[in-house]
Amino acid sequence: MIYLAPSAVIVGDVTIRSGSSVWHNAVLRGDLDSIVVGRETSIQDNATVHVDHGLPATIGDRVTVGHGAVVHASRIGDECLLGMNATVLSGAEVGDGSIVAAGAVVPEKAIVPPGSIFGGVPARKIGEVTEGLRRRIALSAKVYTELAAKSLPAAEDLTANPELRIRVAHTEEFRRLLEGE
């Protein structure tokens, strides 16, 4: 089962796996490509996940996407924490076990190595994730999974449906420019 707040907006080609939650006023818009949310991941209040044509958004298992965070056409590894109002831009990758600090902006195509802490605008490496921080990431996933099960309506896992993608003129050109082709 997954847990969806009544005010969450989920449209397009979106997969949400077991134990995950999408909180109040969060938006997952898989209109131009796919969104995949792993197991026991929380997309918290007012967060936005969106995609570009040819650039899906993938969020791993046991990830906390903080209040107001934006994940745009990027890949977030397993067991990560994105702080409140953090932004991860198109083509960026956040490695497993990493933290993106509150308010940080990870630039397009940036790579956050596994186990790193990135902060600032633009985000840069400010430290390594310690064992204590790894434990906090794990506890965040457990707390939000339990809280969701006790406070949000349950639903069946969502499965991808590529037929729900929308083709828009110039999206391929936009993707090529982003990728530097």
Q: What pLDDT score was predicted for residue 10?
A: 97
Instruction: Kindly report whether the global pTM for this prediction surpasses the value 0.75.
Output: yes
Higher pLDDT, 132 or 175: 132
Outline where 29-160 has alpha helix (H).
131-151
CA-CA distance, 112 to 98, in Å (whole number)? 8
Tokens of 141: 């996933």
Closest CA to 37 of 84, 104, 100, 82: 82
pLDDT digits (tens, 9 = 90+) for 18-51: 999 999 999 999 999 999 999 999 999 999 999 9
Q: What is the mean pLDDT of the chain?
A: 95
Does 2.160.10.10 match the CATH number of domain 2-179? yes
Percent of the chain with pLDDT over 70: 99
- Cβ pair 137, 155 in contact under 8 A: no
CA-CA distance, 64 to 81, in Å (whole number)? 5
Q: What pLDDT score was predicted for residue 181?
A: 66
On the question of pLDDT at 2 being above 80, the answer is: yes
Q: What pLDDT score was predicted for residue 109?
A: 96
pLDDT digits (tens, 9 = 90+) for 54-78: 999 999 999 999 999 999 999 999 9
